[in-house]
Amino acid sequence: MNDLTIQLTDRGDKCLYQQIYEYIRNEIRRGELLEGEKLPSTRSLAEYLQVARSTVDFAYGQLVAEGYVEACPYKGYFVSHVEELFHFSDNALLEENMSAKTGKAEQGRIENKKTVEDNLLYDFSPHAVSLKDFPYATWKKITKNILVDANSEMFALGDAQGDLRLRETISRYLHSSRGVNCSPEQIIVGAGTDYLFMLLEKILGRHVPIAMENPTYKRAYKVFQSFAYEIKAVPMDSSGMDVKKLRETNARVAYVMPSHQYPTGVVMPIGRRHELLKWAKEEKHRYLIEDDYDSEFRYRGKPVPSLQASDRDGRVIYMGTFSKSIAPAIRVGYMVLPPKLLQTYKENCGFYASTVSRIDQRILDEFIRDGYFERYLNKMRKIYRGRHDFLLNHLSPFEKEFMISGENAGLHILLTSRSKIPERELIAAAAREGIKLYGIADACMGQDSIRNTSFENTILLGYGALEEQELRQGLMLLEKAWAPYLKSP
């Protein structure tokens, strides 16, 4: 192991530990430091650079927090596996703000509210995210700077599709992280997916036959139902929506989640994606709505490119949101329209004003452009991966009675009863011990449609908002609640 050849300078804009941090981070990104490679000890690097050991400790600590480096007790620091980490661009590297200790008081104020039964102890919600690690001080700093520098233009109505600067940033982010091919002109920014779905009704027309995977994201189902869309529930197999069953419908549009289907966790293989694209291409007015709601969180293997990345005929409407990757309260979603539908949007919907404040758009834009989003996303991916692995490693008491699926991505896994125990019974038993669980029946279309799927008697076990200690205690109570159902080894 050789010492790192870091050239420190006495520039006033960057302190020493920031220079060390940025040098190692950039070396990892460029592949100069490889996975598993050992870094110099803090003592030896401090002696080599002639700096205080605490300076190197600060730099290494930040690298560990962001997932670039792993600390192994009694062994040292090693380069992490970073193949799946999102890198915005080398030009967007952030000047580190490691001194945000004043934000600790803020961090404790906003936590997930658990508004269920009075005796609730642990909520395994598949929708909840962790807010304790959100960079409140950074968000506050950006907001303050923007308001200080704000002029009259900031308070004007703005572009109906969203500020061009933010759409440029989103376009770069989508191309870098998801392989999406689009121009800023094709992007529409809105306050959540509900508003974007409303625009789609104006673009696609009323009473459109739309196919949805069954089970599916129930909120989208209810929104489409409110449009008086003719909804076709298409069953799924191990690869996603069954295209043969899709062809048996008169659907003009198909709503799919190919990168990580909710709630089943199925990742659609390339062959099935091509089948869907072929189906869409066969008729003039057929389209696919790709909901890429949580593609940032994948813990094994390489990132899965979007369906839109394979679209060569302008048939995919791509939708995404920052609610999962940043925070639910952000309420900023985006939609990428194919060129033909973009023209229809301008003719039929161009007069709708943007539903996102220009100040909020500017804050989000700077949060992404300045590199804060990249670092926060990498940090949260590491945290969620740790909780995901911890949960899987502590499910052994349940393995005889339950099949485990949906792992390696997202923020929940699935437990399916081998003995066909009704999910309502499982949920009720858990509730008596203070555990809130969710069944897959809530995601199915129609009262009896669950019987037409292969996911009957399935529980969704979310881990996004629970720390390891909470997961441990929650699983112990769940094992107690389900003791009558669990078979001895």
**What is the reported pTM?**
0.77
Whether the Cβ atoms of residue 401 and residue 487 lie closer than 8 Å to each other: yes
- What would the pLDDT profile of 127-165 be if each residue is shown by its tens digit? 999 999 999 999 999 999 998 877 767 787 889 999 999
Q: What pLDDT was estimated at residue 92?
A: 42
| pLDDT band at 271; cut points 50, 70, 90 | very high
- Residues in the chain, how many? 489
pLDDT, the chain, mean: 86
| pLDDT band at 83; cut points 50, 70, 90 | low
Burial zone of 244 (CB within 10 Å; 0-12 exposed, 13-18 middle, 19+ buried): exposed
Q: CB under 8 Å to 488, separation ≥6 — which residues?
A: none
- Report which of 353, 456, 340, 472 is spatially closest to residue 403, judged by C-alpha positions: 456
CA distances from 375 to 96, 303, 437 (A): 10, 17, 32
CA distances from 25 to 22, 34, 172, 405 (A): 5, 11, 21, 35
Triad 368, 413, 86: Cα angle to 5°: 20
Q: What is the 3-state secondary structure (H, E, C) of 160-201?
A: CCCCHHHHHHHHHHHHHHHCCCCCHHHEEEECCHHHHHHHHH
Whether the Cβ atoms of residue 330 and residue 110 lie closer than 8 Å to each other: no
Q: What pLDDT was estimated at residue 58?
A: 84
C-alpha torsion angle, residues 273, 373, 65, 110 (rounded to 10): -110
- What would the pLDDT profile of 186-214 be if each residue is shown by its tens digit? 999 999 899 999 999 999 998 899 999 99
Enter the DSSP assignment of 349. Answer: T
> In what helix (H) or strand (E) does residue 336 lie, and over which residues does it extend?
strand 333-336
Q: Are strands 438-439 and 76-79 parallel, antiparallel or unpaired?
A: unpaired
How many alpha carbons fall within 13 Å on the CB side of residue 130?
24
472-483 as b/e: b if 16+ CB within 10 A: ebbbebbeebbe
Collapsed DSSP state (helix, strand, coil) of residue 455: coil
| pLDDT band at 322; cut points 50, 70, 90 | very high
Instruction: Name the β-bridge partners of 438.
Output: 460
Cα 97 to Cα 15: distance, rounded to the nearest angstrom = 11
Whether the Cβ atoms of residue 116 and residue 87 lie closer than 8 Å to each other: no
Whether 87 has a pLDDT exceeding 80, the answer reads: no
- What would the pLDDT profile of 366-377 be if each residue is shown by its tens digit? 999 999 999 999
Instruction: Name the β-bridge partners of 310.
Output: none
> In what helix (H) or strand (E) does residue 382 lie, and over which residues does it extend?
helix 372-393
Q: What pLDDT was estimated at residue 13?
A: 63
Q: Tell me the two tokens of residue 416.
A: 């399916």
Whether 219 has a pLDDT exceeding 70, the answer reads: yes
Whether the Cβ atoms of residue 317 and residue 204 lie closer than 8 Å to each other: no
Query: At residue 458, what are phi and psi to the nearest 5 degrees?
Result: -120, 135
Which residue ranges form the domains of the chain, and what is each CATH number? Answer: 1-82 (1.10.10.10), 151-370 (3.40.640.10)
Average pLDDT over residues 47-62: 86
CA distances from 5 to 45, 62, 93, 438 (A): 10, 19, 20, 53
* Range of weakest confidence among 47-51, 207-211, 414-418: 47-51
- What would the pLDDT profile of 419-477 be if each residue is shown by its tens digit? 999 999 999 999 999 999 999 988 888 655 555 456 679 999 999 999 999 999 999 99
